[in-house]
Amino acid sequence: MMKRNILAAIAMAFVALLLPLAGRASGHEADSQEKSGAVDAQGIIFEHLGDRYGWEVPFNHHKSIPLPVIVWGSDGLHVFSSARVDHGKEYRDGSALFRIAGKDSPYKGKVVEIIDGKEVKPAVDISITKNVCGVFIAVLLVIWSILSVARWHRNQGLKAPRKMTGAIEFVILFIYDGVIKPTLKNKANKFAPYLLTVFFFILVMNLLGLIVIFPGGANLTGNIAVTLVLAIITFLI
């Protein structure tokens, strides 16, 4: 056991020493690629990680699954498909003209209204973006998975479930018995429903983020809006 700990410590120290060197090397490579006009891999990655009004199609960056754009413009409510303003296109809905702001705009990547040749951000933008759609999918998956366990015990009593339902119950018991109960003790039953809900919500969001195709690929836990809402709700509770 002592030898394993020593080897693990040496390996971690070795990796820690290599990381700064790798960072400098990657920085030099990025600079050389930028000067030579090579493909900007970092830009492509961050573009896909960012929030968008459509969901990218794998292996074809020029196509995406359109999502609904819902904005309140200068003349009222407008609802239309994001396909109408994708890839630099402009869309006229009644008297209002919309497009997605370009890279040089202060509203980069957001739907803006063109008024007198200027980009104006709509007063309200509640569009179903990639991240919003991803949150809805994560919520539905959490509800489905947890209700499957509840449905099993309602029908089968205390009989242990199997397959996916059994795996979900194992995780529930592991978190409750191993984390929540030892920490909160007599208050465990009071806060367990919320803590387990948040745990599974974050777990599902992270797992979906590892999938590169729909319904995965949304960077939900990297979005400040998602983490801020969870933090505020946790603080209040």
| pLDDT for the residue 70 | 92
For 55, the enclosing helix (H) or strand (E) is strand 54-57
Q: What is the pLDDT of residues 25-55, one digit of tens each?
A: 344 444 444 455 566 666 666 666 677 888 8
CA atoms of 24 and 9, how far apart (whole Å): 24
Q: How many domains does the chain contain in total? A: 2
**Residue 149 counted as domain residue:** yes
Same domain for 79 and 143, yes or no, is: no
Among the listed residues 108, 120, 105, the one whose alpha carbon sits nearest the alpha carbon of residue 73: 120
Same domain for 215 and 174, yes or no, is: yes
| pLDDT for the residue 41 | 66
Same domain for 195 and 135, yes or no, is: yes
Evaluated on CA atoms 39, 43, 45, 47, the torsion sign reads negative
Using pLDDT thresholds of 50, 70 and 90, give the confidence band for residue 201: very high
Taking residues 96-102, report their average pLDDT.
89
Q: What is the pLDDT of residues 143-198, one digit of tens each?
A: 999 999 888 888 888 788 888 888 999 999 999 999 999 998 899 899 999 999 99
pTM of the model: 0.72
Range of the domain at 111: 53-125
Q: What is the pLDDT of residues 72-90, one digit of tens each?
A: 988 889 999 888 888 888 8
Write down which residue in 73, 108, 125 finishes a domain: 125
- Average pLDDT over the chain, rounded to an integer: 80
| pLDDT for the residue 69 | 92
Q: Identify any residues that bridge with 170 across adjacent strands, giving them in sequence order.
A: none
Using pLDDT thresholds of 50, 70 and 90, give the confidence band for residue 61: low
